Structure 1
Amino acid sequence: MNETKLVVEKPTKQVLEEYSKISIRYKVESVYKLQYIRSGLGGIMLVEEPVKPQFKDYDSNDDNPSLLINQFDLTNWAVISAFEGEKRVGGAILAYNTKGVNMLQDRDDLVVVWDIRVNNEYRGMGIGTKLFQECIEWAKENDCTRLKVETQNNNVVACKFYASQDAKLSNINKFVYADVPDEVQFIWSIDID
């Protein structure tokens, strides 16, 4: 196996189309359930519970990264791509300083990891960690004070990954997804030094 090379790219139509060929599909075998302590006054405990295994594919919705170019001004965005030789095996899309991106809160010192994915054959090899660390470096280079990333309570593997990268669970939003009411939005954050 070749060494993984990371390349920062502009989010052109071609780059996003190539990026979108990497599957984001994952297997759901457990979810985090919210347990309120004293109606939330004592905190919220996340309890991992097994579920009947099923697959989730964000790209099966209207969320495919190749469509971003039609939805936002991507001038300030970046794509960090991971290559093994000539093969694109992973990547991350960074949203920065863009009107209409709610998670950016109309601020120019935040960056959002809009999407991060690694080809199924290459998962568990440290590529996701390399990509995420490069996202943090990009944020530093662009004078950002915080990096944010969204996931859901049914992506336990991603939650554990972000926690392993020293991200902190900063927001739990239970009623965000009207079309999938059992899913809870988790926002993870890293303060940039």
Structure 2
Amino acid sequence: MRISAISEEAAQALDAESCFVVREVFNVSLAGKAFGLTVESVTPYLKTYASDEALDEDCSVYGAFVNQALAGKIVLSSTWNHLAQIEHLVVAHAHRGTGLAKSLIEFSKQWALDHHLQGIRLETQTNNVPACRLYAQCGFVLGGIDLYAYKTQADVSNEVAMYWYWFPEAIGGT
């Protein structure tokens, strides 16, 4: 596998893969400054992420290639508070569970360090349990939730935004 910069147009080839079946969701609790996560089984349903029509100018797009074929992508940017942001991460269905997403996340950590950023932030939702588990395995911590981020969007108004963070050991991370 290799990871290299790709065009926004090339990255759009994976937009159709930006879905998964939800079988469980997280319930989030707060005790002091620590979040607790419990899993609740739900009736399975398909979650599809809408394609971003156009990325911001400051986004960098990278593709993960397996046998010369695009198998995953990650879109990265830098934020006002000196963090990298994972804007979008997609792995083709045929390559899920192979470690490709973890490789893209490890790539993002190095990208952040190379750009002199102090960590990484990303957003997902409580219904993306497999992704949240991956982020935790990769050293991310849940730093916040937003109960109302999607309230104005009828088809996802029941979702809760989760903000995950990674900081290098030098500034308190793993």
Judged with a 3 Å threshold, the aligned counterparts in structure 2 of structure 1 residues 34 and 7 are, in CA distance, closer, same or farther, namely same
User: Which residues in structure 2 correspond to 1:25-174 (within 5 Å)?
Assistant: 25-35=19-29, 44-59=35-50, 64-65=51-52, 67-69=53-55, 72=56, 74=57, 76-96=58-78, 104=79, 106-107=80-81, 109-174=82-147
Q: Is the 8 A contact 2:19 2:49 kept in 1?
A: yes
TM-score by length of 1: 0.78
Counterpart of 2:157 in structure 1 is 181
The 2-side partners of 1:93 and 1:173 are apart by 22
Q: Separation in 1 of the partners of 2:107 and 2:9?
A: 22
Residue ranges of structure 1 left out of the alignment (5+ in a row): 97-103
Following TM superposition, by how much is the alpha carbon of 1:5 offset from its aligned partner in structure 2, in angstroms? Answer: 1.2
Q: 1:79 to 1:13 in 2, by over 3 A?
A: closer
Instruction: Report the count of equivalent residues.
Output: 166
1:5 aligns with 2:2: yes
Larger Rg: 1
Q: Note closer, same or farther for the CA distance 1:44–1:169 as it changes in structure 2 (3 Å cut).
A: closer
Q: Displacement, 1:20? A: 2.9
Cα–Cα, structure 1 residues 112 and 44, in superposed 2: closer, same or farther, change >3 Å? closer
Q: Which runs of 4+ in 1 moved over 4 A?
A: 41-44
For residue 20 of structure 1, what is the amino acid of its counterpart? Answer: D
Give the superposed CA RMSD: 1.9
TM-score by length of 2: 0.86
Residue identity (%):
23
**Alpha-carbon separation, structure 2, partners of 1:35 and 1:28:** 20
